[in-house]
Structure 1
């Protein structure tokens, strides 16, 4: 999953790589950022249950990306961009059983909904060419629309361009689609239609 939240702040903090020491604060921030997101609401409709689950949910995703030193944040820790480097998505897919068990412990019966989304994403994920994959990007609800995410996304794009790799993500909202397009992504393939749920838009950016 990879909703990118739009933001527009001129004085945004410089992007820095997060460390494992940042896990707790970033997990809490992402839980707040995505509490009312269409994807997390579809996975766990009950609001109180969702609020309890999301910090642990994002701890797992942070651990996945931090394994590759692949989380950008800022000094304020009010934004985070989680990604996987070239080859990282393929390696993570091989950990499917382990990760499924971890998410089952966190989500309980709601894990089936997550499995549905993950399965659809896997079918649509580009193969045959190494690329950076943006899995999650979020901003503290109190600091959105001030440019924090644009700063983090630009840091990843600069890195990918310097190394000659493309980038891939899936946008789940109009704001996310706009942010990705502004960064040079274009829609590819077919939209990922979640049954009775939101739609994900696969998006790709060639290196420049």
Structure 2
């Protein structure tokens, strides 16, 4: 599917947050983070906005011109994380939902499995409006970055938060690395890695 993609800017904030909030409201991981639906509806958008802030600060955000989907990317260098990185999950919890230990837990667990031996492009999250899912928008959002990875010999990494998402990433050349991450009393996530493809 041909979907015009552009780099999102600060002026797109409200649209991107609303899109991510809608796209992930019933995601297995979001449902685990906020088991109570009413509480999820109150706090979930704040988590999406915090993720957007991180992407603006550490990477970049691509959005479909028609507002149907968005992808948050970070460029990650090789080597150990900065000394203050361990504070990130704590700070996220304090900013989003201070009484919710799961917000901190998922940040800590995903940080522990994140590869550090090679630089890579990290697809933190990709969201597509529910009524547009299954139309190729997710693949269209990811394609330009993966094409650049192939041209420049860059690796890519992500954690799939659903079996459906994992199937998409397998088709795009990602493979499972290590074992899956089973959240405590919660759903499974799949760490996935992509080697640059020969072009």
TM-score where L is the length of structure 2? 0.90
User: Counterparts of 2:78 and 2:67 in 1: how far apart (Å)?
Assistant: 24
| Structure 2 residue 60 is the aligned partner of structure 1 residue 62 | no
SS of equivalent residue, structure 2 residue 44: helix
- Segments of structure 1 that go 5 or more residues without pairing to the other structure are 1-9
Q: 1:180 to 1:199 in 2, by over 3 A?
A: same
**How do 1:115-194 residues align onto structure 2 when only pairs under 5 Å count?**
115-194=104-183
Structural RMSD (CA): 2.1
- CA offsets per residue over residues 53-86 of structure 1, 9 Å max, x none? 1221111111111124511111112201111013
Per-residue deviation, 1:148: 1.0
| Structure 2 residue 109 is the aligned partner of structure 1 residue 107 | no
Contact persistence 1:19–1:69 (CA under 8 A): no
Contact persistence 2:24–2:30 (CA under 8 A): yes
Per-residue deviation, 1:95: 4.7
Among 3, 26, 31, the alignment partner of 1:13 is 3
Contact persistence 2:7–2:63 (CA under 8 A): yes
- CA offsets per residue over residues 145-182 of structure 1, 9 Å max, x none? 11111101111101222221100111121211110011
| Structure 2 residue 67 is the aligned partner of structure 1 residue 77 | yes
Contact persistence 1:89–1:133 (CA under 8 A): no
Q: How many residues align?
A: 197
Contact persistence 2:89–2:105 (CA under 8 A): no
User: Counterparts of 1:138 and 1:56 in 2: how far apart (Å)?
Assistant: 15
Q: Runs (4+) of structure 1 moved beyond 4 Å?
A: 88-93
User: Counterparts of 1:14 and 1:69 in 2: how far apart (Å)?
Assistant: 20
TM-score where L is the length of structure 1? 0.87
What residue number does 1:207 align with?
A: 196
- Segments of structure 2 that go 5 or more residues without pairing to the other structure are none
**Greater relative contact order structure (CA < 8 Å, 6+ sep):** 1
| Structure 2 residue 186 is the aligned partner of structure 1 residue 197 | yes
Contact persistence 1:17–1:69 (CA under 8 A): no
User: Counterparts of 2:104 and 2:174 in 1: how far apart (Å)?
Assistant: 26
